Amino acid sequence: VVPMAVEHGSAVVALTIDEISMGKTTERKVEIAHKIYDICVDEYGLAPNALIFDVLTFPVTTGQEELKTAAIETLEAITRTRAELPGVLTILGVSNVSFGLQQHARAVLNSVFLYHAVKAGLDLAIVNPVHITPYTEIDAEQRQLAEDLIYNRADALPRYIAYFEEHAPQQDNGNSKVDPTEGMNLAERIHWQILHRRKEGIEPMITEIIAERSQELGIKQSEVAVNVLNTVLLPAMKDVGDRFGAGELILPFVLQSAEVMKRAVAHLEGYLEKVEGYTKGKVVLATVFGDVHDIGKNLVNTILSNNGYTVYDLGKQVPLNTILDKAIEVNADAIGLSALLVSTSKQMPLCVKELYKRGLNFPVIVGGAAINRSYGRRILFVDEQTPDAAPVPYDHGVFYARDAFEGLEIIDRLTSSPEQRASFIERIKEEALKERLKKTERTTRATGETTSQAKEDIASSSVKPALSIPRPPFWGPRVLDRIGIEDVAPCMDLNTLFRLHWGGKTHGADFTRLVEMEFRPRLKRMLLEARQRRYLQPKAIYGYFPCQSSGNELIVYDPAEMQGQQPKGSLREIARFYCPRQQERERLCLADYFAPVNSGKIDVVALQIVTMGQSATEAIQQLQDAGDYAEAYFVHGLAVEMAEGLAEYTNRLIRQELELDEQRGRRYSWGYPAIPDLEDHVKVFQLLPARKTIGVDLTEAFQLVPEQSTAAIVVHHQQATYFAVREQAAVSV
């Protein structure tokens, strides 16, 4: 399992169970965790943050003497595991602690235990959110009874059982309030409006609370406005963020709350115009040079802006000098960098090194799909990072943020008191140094190991000749510019759309309800709007080319030289793609799936480029500029998944034209593990004239624009499979 996890970049969950028994005491749990860590991390090279420990918990509700301290043992094991094995994560099936109780009694115990587990360092929890109540909302007496049971205090179990036998679950008598804000004061109603995404009426409420507090406090309205911002609006957005972090809100709901917040703050601006210094801090944001993706950066902008920070958003594909010049100009409190792909994330360490070289003092926050916490720690160092190099950190800090709310938390700490800021930066540097030293030890051990490698360009013995070479209906490129949205939509992966692009993180009945009540009606409406407003304009160019393989290379010939399946004469090479080969396992290489030169056979390769058009990008930007963050998020997600749907639509057409079954005609895109080199896009554009036919271009970093575009090679071989190629001795992101 572990070699597969390392190969595919997967995480693993490890229970603290060994060949002797399940770990029931803290000592046994931690002892087993160390054994597993040594095998997974030290022996197989699994990244520590890909190792998730379930330290197990057992019922404290059975009355068995040996299980009375089960909750304490679990909480202590969580804390020690994270402290003694830096970088690992922890997970827990929380409800095991309450097994055997009535449901309403279990819900209280589970909720209180979850609270203490998170305080102990728990990263992930397996719970039914319907049965979890926030700690502060639990009745004080019930909370105390649960804590007595968790911490094994005198007669805790009989007292707990007796209480919940006397107190049955509360029933809803149907007399719920028509107005959910009835009985709330004005500040609480504003908080409720933001939390529940209600824009209507927010401005009059802001006007009213400013007038009310101005009279009560006897100060001018401009000063009251700052007070309202700091004591009403910002705490409301913090509550939204906390609930998102706890899994209670999906991302689109957070963005809708941000829209309410923006409207409220905009109304405050009239009062704040003459007040200087009310911003909490200044942040320069940018998607790094060469990267055309900015949805993540836009989310960070939205969250920071609506939490009192001044954000200078420089957009996407921003050169390094532009970022640094802006940070100097505005005296920024931090620089935020975003990247989607591994290739463009290399701009991040360049930025850190340039800051160090110039003697600048801006903390750097990095994020994006291409990187993780280990990467953030690694690029904090500006030396060459060879095993014998002395660590040279960038003293002002590099911080990884997994999402916008962690970014907000980091900025809050960086703009706190000088002492707190210095302590925070020092802790991050210590964590980075500890991880670097561990990796250096592993690298040193691995250097002494030798393995016999087969010659790099010899074809994999596991790949057999193709069962047949398909006959294409034509040679060369063909344009599809009259594709209907209704033809593309059925090719989308709705699970990916709903979960990944639209933020549907719930499960079971909650997810089904979200899909049926929110997402499907929205999808139907948005597809209709896309047709009416023409902001999704699907176009594709694809084609068939004669080819052969030579070692690790795929040679593409001029299609004009073909007549049917045979060349008219000698074939002229017009492109050559290098395909990297695995250095382990089956030693797969994409070139192996095509007939080699020495076979005497002419094979066929299909290439495709698809796009949803520039109009999609413009529509998203217009919504973002108008402050309609949630709708921009939904449109972006739909456009991206429709581009994938269009790629699948074109792929299906190629399968049909080549008369391939569902098991053949696999699609590979550049920048992904089997063919990671984006520079090959230049050759694809030489073969498929996408610029003048469907309006797709390349950036200087070889990415496709518009963003909602993809390019791929289609392989007809029956054994074609997805695989990863890793460079030898490379440090994984």
- Taking residues 596-616, what's their average pLDDT? 96
Q: Is the pLDDT of residue 329 over 90?
A: yes
Distance, in Å, from the CA atom of 258 to the CA atom of 235, rounded to the nearest integer, reads 13
Report the pLDDT value the prediction gives residue 275, as an integer from 0 to 100.
45
Distance, in Å, from the CA atom of 397 to the CA atom of 665, rounded to the nearest integer, reads 47
Within 8 A by CB and 6+ apart from 79, the residues are 120, 121
Token couple for 184: 């709330």
Report the pLDDT value the prediction gives residue 251, as an integer from 0 to 100.
74
- Residue pair 186/215 in contact by the 8 Å Cβ criterion: no
Across 434-438, 470-474, 539-543, least confident range: 434-438
Q: Among 272, 306, 336, where does a domain finish?
A: 272
Most distant CA atoms of the chain, gap in Å: 94
Q: Is the pLDDT of residue 176 over 50?
A: no
Question: Could you tell me if residue 450 is inside a domain?
Answer: no
Question: Could you tell me if residue 461 is inside a domain?
Answer: no
- Taking residues 454-478, what's their average pLDDT? 86
Question: Is there a single domain that holds both residue 32 and residue 121?
Answer: yes
Domain of 223, CATH number, reads: 1.10.1240.10
Question: Is there a single domain that holds both residue 255 and residue 292?
Answer: no
- Residue pair 29/18 in contact by the 8 Å Cβ criterion: no
Q: Among 398, 416, 442, where does a domain finish?
A: 442
Q: Is the pLDDT of residue 451 over 70?
A: no
Question: Could you tell me if residue 694 is inside a domain?
Answer: yes
Alpha helices by DSSP H, listed for 558-613, are none
Domain of 601 in residue numbering reads as 477-715
Token couple for 28: 């046994």
Distance, in Å, from the CA atom of 514 to the CA atom of 497, rounded to the nearest integer, reads 13
Please tell me the total number of residues recorded for the chain in this structure: 733
Q: Among 251, 272, 293, where does a domain finish?
A: 272
Question: Is there a single domain that holds both residue 135 and residue 240?
Answer: no
Question: Is there a single domain that holds both residue 157 and residue 209?
Answer: no
Report the pLDDT value the prediction gives residue 456, as an integer from 0 to 100.
63
Could you read off the pLDDT of 128-155 as tens digits, one per residue? 877 888 787 788 899 999 999 999 999 9
Question: Could you tell me if residue 455 is inside a domain?
Answer: no
Question: Is there a single domain that holds both residue 437 and residue 497?
Answer: no
Could you read off the pLDDT of 181-240 as tens digits, one per residue? 888 899 999 999 999 889 899 999 999 999 999 888 888 887 888 888 889 998 998 888
Report the pLDDT value the prediction gives residue 180, as an integer from 0 to 100.
77
- Residue pair 351/291 in contact by the 8 Å Cβ criterion: no
- The model carries a pTM of 0.61
Distance, in Å, from the CA atom of 89 to the CA atom of 82, rounded to the nearest integer, reads 7
Domain of 482, CATH number, reads: 3.40.109.40
Q: Is the pLDDT of residue 679 over 80?
A: yes
- Residue pair 580/537 in contact by the 8 Å Cβ criterion: no
Alpha-carbon distances of 709 from 295, 414, 543, 643, rounded to whole Å: 15, 38, 17, 6
Domain of 375, CATH number, reads: 3.40.50.280
- Residue pair 302/334 in contact by the 8 Å Cβ criterion: no
Question: Could you tell me if residue 76 is inside a domain?
Answer: yes
Question: Is there a single domain that holds both residue 262 and residue 289?
Answer: no
Question: Is there a single domain that holds both residue 588 and residue 608?
Answer: yes
Question: Is there a single domain that holds both residue 588 and residue 688?
Answer: yes
Distance, in Å, from the CA atom of 68 to the CA atom of 61, rounded to the nearest integer, reads 8
H/E element holding 544? strand 539-550
Q: Collapsing DSSP states into helix, strand and coil, what is residue 54?
A: strand
Question: Could you tell me if residue 417 is inside a domain?
Answer: yes
Q: Which of 563, 560, 568 is nearest to 476 (CA)?
A: 560
Distance, in Å, from the CA atom of 396 to the CA atom of 362, rounded to the nearest integer, reads 6
Domain of 36, CATH number, reads: 3.20.20.20
Token couple for 132: 């979890």
Question: Is there a single domain that holds both residue 580 and residue 694?
Answer: yes
Distance, in Å, from the CA atom of 389 to the CA atom of 607, rounded to the nearest integer, reads 45
Question: Could you tell me if residue 680 is inside a domain?
Answer: yes
Residue whose pair of structure tokens reads 């969250």 in the numeric block = 303
Question: Is there a single domain that holds both residue 241 and residue 299?
Answer: no
Specify the number of domains making up the chain: 4
Question: Could you tell me if residue 174 is inside a domain?
Answer: no
Q: Which of 459, 510, 393, 469 is nearest to 132 (CA)?
A: 510
Question: Is there a single domain that holds both residue 436 and residue 319?
Answer: yes
Report the pLDDT value the prediction gives residue 397, as an integer from 0 to 100.
94
Question: Is there a single domain that holds both residue 103 and residue 213?
Answer: no
